[in-house]
Amino acid sequence: MSEKKFDLVVIGAGPGGYHAAIRASQLGLKVCLVEKDDGTGIGGLGGVCLNWGCIPSKSLLKNAELLNEMKNPDEWGFSFKEFKADISKAIDRSRSVSSKLTQGIGYLIKKNNIELIMGVAKLISSTKVQVGDEEIVANNIIIATGARPRSLPNLEIDKELIITSRQALELRSKPESIAIIGASAIGCEFAYFFNAYGVEVSLLEIMDRLVPKEDGEISKELERQFEKQGIKSFTSSNINKVKKNKKSVTLEYESKGESFNKEFDKVMLGVGIQPNTDELSLENAGVQLDENGFIIVDEFMKTNVNGVYAIGDVTGKLPLAHVAFDQGILASEVIAGKDVEGMTNYIDMPRCTYCSPQIASIGITEEQAKEQSLNYSVGKVPFQVAGKSIAINNYNGFAKVISDSDTGEILGAHIIGAEATEMIGEIGMLKYLEGTNEELHRLTHAHPTLSEVIKEAAANTHNQAIHF
């Protein structure tokens, strides 16, 4: 067995892994990056995010957005003799987008002199990793193996009838009907996509509202908009019986005390994740896991074993690509001996859902402010206060800003509407600089822009909004 030596071995080339590897190389470390998937499975360079998650799904959602606009051509002064929407072409475009970006990651790895080894990594000890016939000696190890979709009892993923978002991204022939189990970000995004292409969508959520981790008013608005679009939402739902037929699945379920029995061409699960720790032989290094199998880390991404770190979804902290980005950079800087601030505040990281209307939030919800008995104020305005929203015919939704009544500190912000995911960064920067609601209100925003809705929401905290 051949042996190689590195300052750092990063296991997993997803968002966190490749960021960690590149940053470590920038800091002068000799780095090896190990990736088990060549891009045909659930990972590859760029991980799930670039290959089978964030990026290709956003490509499909853009298709859906354009398609929905074209359903009312007269409104825009357009006319078509014949208009067709080919879902297979949308899938092809999304795969092309992913391919371009993963090629870019490959270029960055070469540019930064990172040695890439393809294969399954297993820990021999806290300083040795085995990949195939190679044994790698490492002063430090970063585990960035991510997570995968979780099945439900009686709803085991078979990749044909019962699928995840991974298989949905390759459905080149649309189903007539689909049940999507789980109404968090992934479920809502695919509900919007399939509905745009004429699929009958039923969205089932065990909690009492859609996007249950968002502010309650956001949930209500999304359900109202989905209903207008023709998406059927079943909250407080419970699946009692599953029957797999030859080419369909029949679900017996309840929602708010009412019983339903319906046959679906496909069932898609979006009910959470489970960590990819089962193939790593972590027990050889003594790495500690929590009760759900996620790797326990401190604020510097250190595990309980000296020299072994973990980042991204495998930690269970906040399973979002941009969180993994920053965790990876942090871990590499710690390894390189940099004096850095640890990461403990996950509530103030942006959370985004890319259906239409888009949802973006940061900080606490109003429900959480009440639970914590905070003295808070709310400023809320509809998107119509921003003239551009009317001009682009995308004026549904609102912006809501929650601030401390005594100090004016921004506690949370919640936006549902056009380009909400682009606008949340403004609040993030303000919170990072410990800014106040008054500063958000007084800052001059360009006109006409959608971001004016944020300024007006801040102003409305004190009944000073001009257009509302």
Give dist(CA 317, CA 74) in Å, integer: 47
- Decide if 238 contacts 154 (C-beta within 8 A): no
Give dist(CA 71, CA 439) in Å, integer: 41
- Distance between alpha carbon 157 and the CA centroid of its chain, in Å? 21
Give dist(CA 375, CA 85) in Å, integer: 51
- DSSP string of 300-316, one letter each residue: TSB-SSTTEEE-GGGGT
Q: Is 467 a catalytic residue?
A: no
Residues 6+ positions from 242 with CB-CB distance below 8 Å: 154, 155, 249, 250, 251, 252
Give dist(CA 354, CA 224) in Å, integer: 16
Closest CA to 63 of 160, 174, 159, 226: 174
* The one catalytic residue among 322, 414, 445, 447: 447
154: tokens are: 């009686």
Torsion, CA 290, CA 296, CA 299, CA 302, rounded to 10: 170
Give dist(CA 369, CA 414) in Å, integer: 13
373: tokens are: 């008995």
* Radius of gyration for the chain, computed over Cα atoms and rounded to the nearest angstrom: 23
Give dist(CA 358, CA 360) in Å, integer: 7
Tell me which residues are annotated as active site.
447
